[in-house]
Structure 1
């Protein structure tokens, strides 16, 4: 991967803001709200511990770690709805969901 000038947390905030969410929080844990929907957003890497509970969760990771994170979540079978956003060094991203291929998060 090329030189990265932002963090996964900054990328997460930017993506959710562009999608029309109000984003609050700091560090690796953010809260994104839009209409009735509240999404807990975690800036993640290979060492991130998976939360045991929640409702809607999104994990944002660099693309090279996103597929492994998705596989970990599939294996863990958490009791919450989740998606992983894989971001590349240019800011482009893919959304990885347990039952779908890459898609856009709306």
Structure 2
């Protein structure tokens, strides 16, 4: 795992922790749990194909990659709810796309 991925990993964990989720490592992903919801969080430094299964997923990427990642996810016609969080160099973040009303 490279520096960029490690930094995105830490930022993703911090974002979900700040949102009140219990955060743990789940292989290459992060598992964020709160009440009945379990969100699988994938740090994604570059737009890539997404996992094909799940119920709730969130992809954390660099701010400049959000649009490309959104298009890629839409083309995959995924059968789960997903969101994209874009993180800038200062660590600020914004939800850019979602298929569920979190």
For the pair 1:37 / 2:37, whether they are aligned, the reply is: yes
Give the equivalent residue in structure 2 for 1:63: 63
Assess, with a 3 A threshold, how the Cα gap between structure 1 residues 18 and 37 changes in structure 2: closer, same or farther: same
CA distance in 2, matches of 1:19, 1:47: 24
Greater percentage in helix: 2
Count of residue pairs the alignment pairs up:
98
State how far apart, in whole Å, the 2-side matches of 1:13 and 1:96 are.
Answer: 18
Report runs of 4+ in structure 1 exceeding 3 Å deviation: none
Q: Deviations over 1:10-32 (max 9, x none)?
A: 11000000000000006740000
Shift of 1:77: 1.1
Q: CA deviation at 1:45?
A: 2.5
Give distance in 2, aligned partners of 1:27 and 1:98. Answer: 24
Asked if the contact 2:49–2:72 (Cα under 8 Å) also holds between the matched residues in 1, the reply is no
Which residues of structure 2 form unaligned runs of 5+?
Answer: none
After superposition, the Cα gap between the structure-2 partners of 1:47 and 1:84, relative to the gap in structure 1 and judged at 3 Å, is closer
Is the Cα–Cα contact under 8 Å of residues 47 and 72 in structure 2 kept in the other structure?
no
Structure 1: tracts of 5 or more residues without a match = none
Pick closer, same or farther for the CA change 1:66–1:47 going to 2, 3 Å: closer
